[in-house]
């Protein structure tokens, strides 16, 4: 049995086909024939029209492009239509349209080069349809955190940049009735949007989600309607809670960055080795040579650093940045003869743009003389490793390993410091007092004293944090360490390494 469209006289064989038909009435994408100024819903229809009549067509015009991906998913899902019905689809479509246009209307612009298009219609229906006023020149959009956002509102992202062409008025009588119907439907849905602004019961507050779950949602889901939203549809909220375990980031087993000097060619060379079984890279592969435009003989260290910058740039060399997007690197290793700010900056920027996190970070066999503390700290914070390892680092000082950097290191769940020079390494009693790692190794000459160790043992005894095992290199006589230890702390000193750990009491069954 054919189902008649409520907006026109067309009929559809099923509810799903009717939903697709209604989608065309509310389409956000218009394609214009430049010769006769007629608008079409698809590019294929416009091209066929122009081919038959030898007309010239203009570029496509997008309206509210941030709604498009969300709504296309909604309407292409036949199961959703079968369960919820066509009315729910139309309501969701209208709500998304009005919400996005309302956002474009109230939010100040400063970030994305987007000019919002106006949904055009005749003069009688213009007031009901055009919820977003035209702007001259190029308008920009930035989410205003002080403005309450509309439910299911889609927020522009840095990566969703597109320039919208000039708006065109509809002049042909053949499209007049269709757009009048669209205006009426939008007018009827204004009341729905006003209710949405007051956060009705059908929507669950975003801030009620656990903080860890919010992070997982924003990292795992790339759909624009969830990114930076403050409220979620209740069904979406429940769906996320039920499928939390299945939300997994891409796992990259190994990433190594090396800048080394080759005696054979007497030049510096950059290598970026990656292993990611998820995308078929089961063995270490050098991604620095995948782009032939960038791979060439590098004579100097500066050229190798420039190659590194291009490799991690999301605009120049896309293979690596795409691989790192929404990924977790199990082990990242940076080994160069010389560490500089220009090495850390592009990696930091890439991690920030693609939302990449690191589990274990190893930096070794290099000089830190040309690294400044602010850049180093920014890199560590963006990488956010749970396990940090430094070995064979020379030229360490307060200029690169500042108290802020050291505090970040000792508050990681696990860290290792080995063979750091010159001695003594600038880690003192004040930094030791802030240590919260559950497992650590300090195998380097530091400024830690016996009094600092006694205070640290006292903090451990208080039970503020659990210590699985800690090792500190310290050269003092055994008699200097003769102090009573609490019953829940075990201390062992072999003449050079002091080992500490918590003792878990055995509970006797009664």
If you write DSSP's letter for every residue of 357-385 in order, what string do you get?
EEEEEEEEEEEEEE--HHHHHHHHHHH--
- For residue 201, the model assigns a pLDDT of 42
Asked if 271 and 288 count as a contact pair (C-beta separation under 8 A), the reply is yes
Q: pLDDT by residue (tens digit) across 106-130?
A: 544 433 333 333 333 333 333 333 3
Highest mean pLDDT among 33-47, 66-80, 128-142, 419-433: 419-433
- For residue 299, the model assigns a pLDDT of 66
Q: In 3-state terms, what secondary structure has residue 50? A: helix
- What sign results for the dihedral spanned by CA atoms 107, 211, 67, 156? positive
Phi, psi of 8 (to 5 degrees): -155, -170
What's the average model confidence in pLDDT over 411-433? Answer: 93
Peptide bond before 422: cis, by omega within 30 degrees of 0?
Answer: yes
- For residue 203, the model assigns a pLDDT of 45
Tell me the C-alpha distance between 110 and 98, whole Å: 22
Across 300-433, where does the E strand assignment appear? 327-336, 338-340, 357-370, 387-394, 414-418
Tell me the C-alpha distance between 231 and 372, whole Å: 41
pLDDT confidence bin for 99, thresholds 50/70/90 = low
**Nearest partner of 12 among 90, 89, 86, judged by Cα:** 86
What's the average model confidence in pLDDT over 402-412? Answer: 94
pTM score, two decimals? Answer: 0.52
- For residue 416, the model assigns a pLDDT of 96
- For residue 397, the model assigns a pLDDT of 92
- For residue 352, the model assigns a pLDDT of 78
What's the average model confidence in pLDDT over 93-100? Answer: 57
pLDDT confidence bin for 159, thresholds 50/70/90 = very low
Tell me the C-alpha distance between 378 and 303, whole Å: 24
* Helical segments of 107-210, H only: 126-129, 176-188, 190-197
More confident residue, 340 or 215: 340
- For residue 326, the model assigns a pLDDT of 75
**Nearest partner of 64 among 25, 114, 135, judged by Cα:** 114
Asked if 154 and 67 count as a contact pair (C-beta separation under 8 A), the reply is yes
Q: In 3-state terms, what secondary structure has residue 171? A: coil
Q: Is a pLDDT exceeding 80 seen at residue 246? A: no
Please state the separation of Cα 420 from the chain's center in Å.
34
Taking residue 51's Cβ as centre, other Cβ atoms within 10 Å add up to 10
Q: Is a pLDDT exceeding 50 seen at residue 92? A: yes
pLDDT confidence bin for 353, thresholds 50/70/90 = confident
Tell me the C-alpha distance between 45 and 453, whole Å: 77
- For residue 306, the model assigns a pLDDT of 80
Of 21-25, 139-143, 353-357, the range with the lowest mean pLDDT is 139-143
More confident residue, 501 or 164: 501
- For residue 374, the model assigns a pLDDT of 92
- For residue 262, the model assigns a pLDDT of 75
Please state the separation of Cα 165 from the chain's center in Å.
29
Q: Is a pLDDT exceeding 50 seen at residue 437? A: yes
Q: Is a pLDDT exceeding 80 seen at residue 495? A: yes
Q: In 3-state terms, what secondary structure has residue 413? A: coil
- For residue 390, the model assigns a pLDDT of 96
Tell me the C-alpha distance between 457 and 452, whole Å: 9
- 171-178 long-range contacts (CB < 8 A, ≥24 apart) are 171/37, 172/36, 172/37, 172/38, 174/38, 175/38, 175/39, 176/122, 177/8, 178/7, 178/8, 178/25
Q: Which two tokens stand for residue 403?
A: 């108290």
Q: Is a pLDDT exceeding 60 seen at residue 448? A: yes
Taking residue 134's Cβ as centre, other Cβ atoms within 10 Å add up to 12
Tell me the C-alpha distance between 165 and 59, whole Å: 7
More confident residue, 214 or 78: 214
- For residue 379, the model assigns a pLDDT of 92
Tell me the C-alpha distance between 197 and 186, whole Å: 16
**Nearest partner of 475 among 502, 453, 503, judged by Cα:** 453
Average pLDDT, the chain: 67
pLDDT confidence bin for 334, thresholds 50/70/90 = very high
Q: Is a pLDDT exceeding 80 seen at residue 387? A: yes
DSSP 59: P
Radius of gyration of the chain (CA): 30
Q: Is a pLDDT exceeding 50 seen at residue 64? A: no
Q: How many helices and strands (H and E) does the chain possess?
A: 16, 22
Of 276-290, 321-335, 469-483, the range with the lowest mean pLDDT is 276-290
Q: Which two tokens stand for residue 150?
A: 């509309």
3-state helix, strand, coil in the chain (%, to 5): 40, 25, 40
**Domains of the chain, earliest start first:** 3-28+63-200 (no CATH), 257-502 (3.80.10)
Q: Is a pLDDT exceeding 60 seen at residue 169? A: no
Say if residue 497 is exposed, middle or buried (CB neighbours under 10 Å; 0-12, 13-18, 19+).
middle
């Amino acid at each position: 049995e054919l189902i008649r469209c409520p907006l026109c006289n067309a009929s559809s064989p099923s509810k799903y086909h009717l939903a697709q038909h209604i989608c065309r009435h509310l389409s956000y994408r218009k394609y214009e024939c430049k010769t006769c100024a007629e608008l079409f819903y698809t590019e294929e229809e416009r091209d066929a029209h122009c081919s038959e009549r030898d007309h010239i067509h203009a570029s496509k015009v997008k309206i509210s492009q941030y709604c498009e991906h969300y709504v296309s998913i909604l309407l292409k899902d036949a199961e959703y239509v079968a369960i919820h019905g066509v009315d729910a689809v139309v309501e969701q479509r209208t709500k998304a349209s009005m919400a996005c246009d309302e956002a474009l209307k109230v939010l100040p612009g400063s970030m994305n080069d987007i000019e919002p298009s106006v949904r055009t219609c005749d003069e009688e229906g213009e007031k009901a349809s055009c919820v977003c006023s035209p702007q001259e020149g190029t308008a920009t959009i930035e989410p205003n955190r002080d403005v309450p956002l509309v439910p299911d509102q889609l927020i522009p992202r840095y990566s969703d940049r597109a320039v919208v062409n000039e708006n065109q008025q509809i002049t042909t009588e053949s499209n007049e009735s269709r757009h009048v119907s669209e205006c009426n439907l939008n007018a009827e849905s204004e009341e729905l949007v006003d209710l949405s602004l007051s956060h009705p019961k059908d929507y669950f507050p975003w801030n009620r989600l656990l903080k860890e779950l919010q992070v997982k949602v924003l990292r795992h889901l790339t759909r624009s309607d969830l990114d930076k939203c403050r409220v979620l549809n209740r069904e979406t909220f429940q769906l996320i809670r039920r499928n939390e375990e299945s939300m997994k980031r891409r796992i990259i087993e190994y990433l190594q960055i090396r800048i080394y000097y080759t005696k054979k060619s007497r030049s510096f060379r950059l290598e970026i080795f990656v292993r990611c079984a998820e995308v078929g890279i089961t063995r270490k592969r050098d991604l620095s040579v995948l782009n032939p435009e960038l791979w060439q003989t590098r004579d100097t260290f500066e050229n190798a650093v420039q190659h590194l910058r291009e490799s991690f740039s999301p605009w120049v060399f896309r293979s690596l940045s795409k691989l790192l997007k929404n990924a977790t690197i199990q082990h990242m290793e940076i080994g160069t003869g010389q560490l500089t700010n220009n090495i850390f900056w592009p990696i930091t920027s890439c991690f920030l743009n693609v939302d990449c996190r690191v589990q274990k970070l190893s930096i070794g066999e290099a000089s830190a003389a040309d690294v400044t503390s602010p850049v180093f700290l920014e890199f560590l914070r963006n990488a956010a490793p749970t396990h940090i390892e430094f070995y064979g680092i020379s030229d360490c000082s307060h200029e690169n390993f500042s108290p802020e950097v050291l505090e970040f290191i000792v508050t990681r769940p696990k860290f290792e410091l080995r063979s750091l020079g010159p001695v003594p390494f600038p880690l003192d009693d004040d930094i030791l007092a802030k240590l919260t790692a559950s497992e650590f190794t300090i195998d380097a000459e530091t400024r830690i004293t016996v009094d600092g160790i006694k205070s640290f043992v006292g903090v451990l005894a208080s039970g503020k944090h659990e210590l699985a095992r800690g090792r500190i290199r310290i050269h003092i006589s055994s008699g200097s360490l003769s102090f009573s230890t609490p019953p829940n702390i075990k201390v062992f000193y072999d003449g050079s390494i002091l080992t500490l750990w918590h003792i878990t009491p055995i509970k006797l069954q009664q």
